[in-house]
């Protein structure tokens, strides 16, 4: 963003990468996929780079309100300093915090999750998919992220994206507003789980496997991690080929007709 500003350029959107998309090796693949799509669609975008701090979602969920507000105010100062108006992120946790919680601290932005942004690019014809892509006719099930679905009501956009791939969508019994949490929300991603009879990500994975889908689609780095772990735990050496766990951005990136210069 600083380089763009120095050249007097105003990007169409700020791509908020997030902690997972910056540091987790698996989530970095989603970051690269989304960047490839933005380049393909001719979207002018920028990132904050080292100036981007965690939104503070995990610490607020864990109860450290003081640290959350410190982090939020720092981010708001940076965003307002660059005059940022529109933000796109691939993380529902960042999306929810930036969209719904930063305004109470003075941070007012048009925040869009990448599922909705991808749908818009597809509807506008800015994304061109090749004929007979790798997911055509494949059975795909989609996991609704809590912070994207129940918290913000985004259910149709990711499914519209999957439809554009000519995939066959097989819904889990608990989906949309009744979707089961993967177990990572509310800062649970970063702490030991409470004692119980069964790990929640294993239960959700079993629901995904029961659909017979060859791809479990997600739109959240936390969900991606929990479902990937669940698939790995459920698949033994004698098991049938385990389904892939992919972010919808990875699926679109793998199906692009071309990448524009």
pLDDT of residue 261: 44
Residues 101 and 212 in one domain: no
Instruction: Single out the residue in 54, 88, 120 at which a domain terminates.
Output: 120
Residues 249 and 161 in one domain: yes
Residues 113 and 186 in one domain: no
Tally the domains of the chain: 2
How much is the average pLDDT of 168-182?
95
Nearest of 237, 194, 240, 187 to residue 213 by alpha carbon? 240
Residues 146 and 206 in one domain: yes
User: What pTM did the predictor assign?
Assistant: 0.93
- For 44-96, what is each residue's pLDDT tens digit? 999 999 999 999 999 999 999 999 999 999 999 999 999 999 999 999 999 99
pLDDT of residue 170: 97
Beta-bridge mates of residue 112: 88
What CA–CA distance (Å, rounded) separates 4 from 41?
19
Give the chain's mean pLDDT.
94
Residues 154 and 236 in one domain: yes
Residues 45 and 140 in one domain: no
What CA–CA distance (Å, rounded) separates 76 from 223?
27
Report the range of poorest mean pLDDT among 27-41, 46-60, 231-245: 231-245
pLDDT band at 239 (very low <50, low <70, confident <90, very high): low
Query: Range of 189's domain?
Result: 131-253
What CA–CA distance (Å, rounded) separates 224 from 89?
15
Residues 44 and 99 in one domain: yes
Distance of CA 153 to the CA centre of its chain: 15
């Amino acid at each position: 963003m600083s380089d763009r500003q120095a050249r007097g350029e105003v990007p169409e959107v700020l791509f908020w990468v997030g902690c997972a998309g910056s540091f987790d090796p698996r989530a970095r693949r989603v970051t690269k996929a989304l960047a490839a799509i933005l380049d393909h669609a001719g979207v002018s975008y920028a990132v904050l780079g080292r100036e981007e701090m965690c939104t503070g979602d995990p610490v607020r969920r864990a109860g450290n309100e003081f640290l959350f507000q410190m982090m939020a105010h720092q981010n708001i100062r940076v965003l307002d300093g660059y005059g940022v108006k529109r933000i796109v992120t691939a993380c529902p946790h960042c999306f929810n915090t930036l969209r719904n919680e930063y305004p109470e601290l003075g941070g007012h932005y048009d925040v869009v999750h990448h599922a909705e942004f991808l749908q818009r690019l597809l509807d506008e014809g800015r994304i061109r998919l090749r004929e007979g892509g790798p997911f055509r006719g494949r059975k795909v099930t989609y996991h609704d992220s809590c912070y994207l679905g129940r918290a913000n009501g985004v259910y149709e956009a990711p499914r519209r994206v999957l439809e554009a791939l000519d995939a066959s969508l097989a819904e889990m019994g608990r989906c949309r507003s009744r979707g089961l949490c993967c177990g990572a929300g509310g800062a649970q991603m970063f702490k030991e789980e409470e004692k119980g009879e069964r790990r929640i990500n294993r239960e959700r994975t079993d629901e995904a496997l029961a659909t017979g889908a060859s791809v479990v689609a997600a739109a959240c780095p936390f969900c991606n991690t929990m479902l990937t772990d669940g698939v790995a735990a459920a698949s033994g050496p004698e098991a049938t080929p385990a389904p892939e766990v992919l972010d919808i951005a990875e699926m679109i990136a793998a199906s692009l007709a071309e990448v524009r210069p």
